[in-house]
Structure 1
């Protein structure tokens, strides 16, 4: 395993926390378009926590879900949501501009929608997407598909709405000003330095191009943020590639160690230029939605099904496991089963086998 991959595993994967919101704060933001699997990304880093406990934390507003950084959902901490939006929402709006035009959304439509959403959600009136679709649709605004999705995303990026508590299996929206107590506006330079430092500390070693992908910030923004961060970051060149990282250190992991992560986990999705360091596979090989990591490197993927009492993990592997590696896989499956309050069952298959 390369030194870069080893250190990235320690900063992004092996760090343990006390509460779901602590994981979110550590990363700055955690990609979360698949809500259930995104919760597991938090649970993987919280020994002993259950899915029900993560859900209760979310419903209580201890961490939120909104569009920020890129045109996708992320978990963010309440105290971070406003300054993250100020830094990155203009860039996401610029990315979205062509879609806004394609679905017929302009300044007038957004202004009308904002007024309707404010009225519908005021006073803690948490509403589901379907309920809000009826509200905006009655005014002649898009109420289905991309039109509705980008209308609501615009309201999130403008800091008008964010996630509310779940209602059964449905997500709700809330007014941000009601969901999160007001906070003093941060100095823009301080916020930029914080985001750059937090990314390289929690994801590093990583490159500035990795951070450009993750944050949507420009190369000039990131260069300024690195300069502002100063000695909070360290720099090194490995195989001709320039890497940045924080000073966070954890103990070397035991080997073998298996992690069953989702494909949008920050350990995998937060990189572009240097994503290959944890993927010792041919370039044409895609990484599926659920990834099996062996000592921090992609070794296959996994599927899960469940019955009333049992979580069934099928591991699809690039090679056969040793007895010690099989035991590590069993331990990883047991962690996920306990998170879901189920008993584990594990089966393995090589990827070149039929099945």
Structure 2
């Protein structure tokens, strides 16, 4: 597989060539910023219907309802462990957190925004300073515990219940276990070619654990990462996309140099996981863009390509 084929294959896997059928095709979209989520979904032919919750890396993502519960069960413990010290600093000890989970199951029978949730918790003896970070950390803990999720309007809802035994039965029937290897298979379908370090960085799981549970020999090595055996390289098709902040096309990998040349990294990665909106051509980031008067204004890395990129964007939107 050539570098150009690897990029085109990755772009296709991320459903930036042919539209996705539903969220399961892309596994998850980053969702801390709703306008950016809307852009990412639109670029993949999707709506924003789904479950918005803290999942990969303890970051808000949008998942298909069929995936949310098992993904949270798999990834939540890592985020809970990582946040323990900060919760304790905020006075959220294990006992208080356990009581809060039980209370939230009653309080959020009807969705509530954060202030209303904090007031309802206070009424049952769980008092949080609404001006502190305690409410945010407690609700993230509840989400990582599989109790709540956060709507697109920032209200909190109970996570739809699934029976782990039913999940196990369904997984057995489909030949999966809803464990780390299954998450990796789904990730590779939506992100490949990709490496084990890419998957670890995307999921928030330790690379050591990933290497213990994933056998690379079960997959084909393209030289640019793993793909499912039998995956055919995709040829570049002059496909262009205008990607927004927090798009998973770059954030889904630890090593982004295949798609984003090192000399242009600082123009796109501005810190905190924030990405400058960028222009993607056959899987390669070739410039930045912004919206003015409802129209995209493109700033290519190579100025001589400006007219070409504008033409391709015009063709893509027709």
User: Which of 111, 114, 118 is 1:133 aligned to?
Assistant: 118
Aligned CA distance change for structure 1 residues 192 and 113 (closer, same or farther; 3 Å): same
Following superposition, the deviation at residue 18 of structure 1 comes to: 5.3
Q: Counterpart in 2 of 1:351?
A: none
1:262 aligns with 2:249: no
- Cα distance in 1 for residues equivalent to 2:112 and 2:245: 30
Following superposition, the deviation at residue 284 of structure 1 comes to: 5.8
Following superposition, the deviation at residue 327 of structure 1 comes to: 0.8
- Cα distance in 2 for residues equivalent to 1:190 and 1:234: 22
Following superposition, the deviation at residue 173 of structure 1 comes to: 1.6
Q: Counterpart in 2 of 1:104?
A: 91
Q: Counterpart in 2 of 1:34?
A: 33
Deviates more, 1:104-113 or 1:313-322: 313-322
- Cα distance in 1 for residues equivalent to 2:33 and 2:310: 28
Q: Deviations over 1:34-59 (max 9, x none)?
A: 1221122111011xx6xxxx25xx2x
Note the 1:114-133 alignment, pairs <5 A: 114-122=101-109, 125-133=110-118
Following superposition, the deviation at residue 2 of structure 1 comes to: 3.8
Aligned CA distance change for structure 1 residues 137 and 291 (closer, same or farther; 3 Å): farther
- Say if 1:70 and 1:216, in contact at 8 Å, map to a contact too: yes
Q: Deviations over 1:198-224 (max 9, x none)?
A: 112211111111111111223343234
Following superposition, the deviation at residue 69 of structure 1 comes to: 2.0
Pick 1 or 2: higher relative contact order, CA cutoff 8 A, min separation 6: 2
1:237 aligns with 2:236: no
Q: Counterpart in 2 of 1:146?
A: 133
1:218 aligns with 2:206: yes
- Cα distance in 1 for residues equivalent to 2:17 and 2:252: 16
**Secondary structure in 2 matching 1:40:** helix
TM-score (norm 2): 0.83
1:4 aligns with 2:3: no
User: Which of 62, 67, 77 is 1:75 aligned to?
Assistant: 62
- Say if 1:11 and 1:249, in contact at 8 Å, map to a contact too: no
- Cα distance in 1 for residues equivalent to 2:244 and 2:213: 30
- Cα distance in 1 for residues equivalent to 2:144 and 2:311: 45
- Cα distance in 2 for residues equivalent to 1:201 and 1:225: 18
Quote the RMSD (CA, aligned, Å).
2.6
Q: Counterpart in 1 of 2:80?
A: 93
